[in-house]
Amino acid sequence: MYGIKVWLTNDVKDWYLLRDINDGVVHVWKKKEDALNIQKILKCKKSAISKIMSSAILDRANHKRKELDHLKYFLK
């Protein structure tokens, strides 16, 4: 799984993973190409593709993805 690191300043240590504004869940992508496509759209000082290793981040992202899929199923 891949995420996007974002820098808003020139400080090397001042980065964060791209998150959802509403709930703070980190955006993750299964394919590196999908993350690269989003990275091209971003308007920030610097960004980089990062491999997500934290199980907590992956668990929250997968839980959110399942909830959205479940909601879409019932809204058909």
SS3 per residue for the chain? CEEEEEECCCCCCCEEECECCCCCCECCECCHHHHHHHHHHCCCCEEEEEECCCHHHHHHHHHHHHHHHHHHHHCC
pTM of the model: 0.82
Sheet of 2-7, strand order: 15-17, 2-7, 46-51
Our measurement of the distance from residue 1's CA atom to the centroid of its chain's CA atoms, rounded to an integer in Å, reads 9
Confidence of residue 71 (pLDDT cuts 50, 70, 90): confident
The domain limits of the chain are 2-74
For 7-39, the pLDDT digits (tens) are 988 898 999 999 999 999 999 999 999 999 999
Helix (H), strand (E) counts: the chain: 2, 3
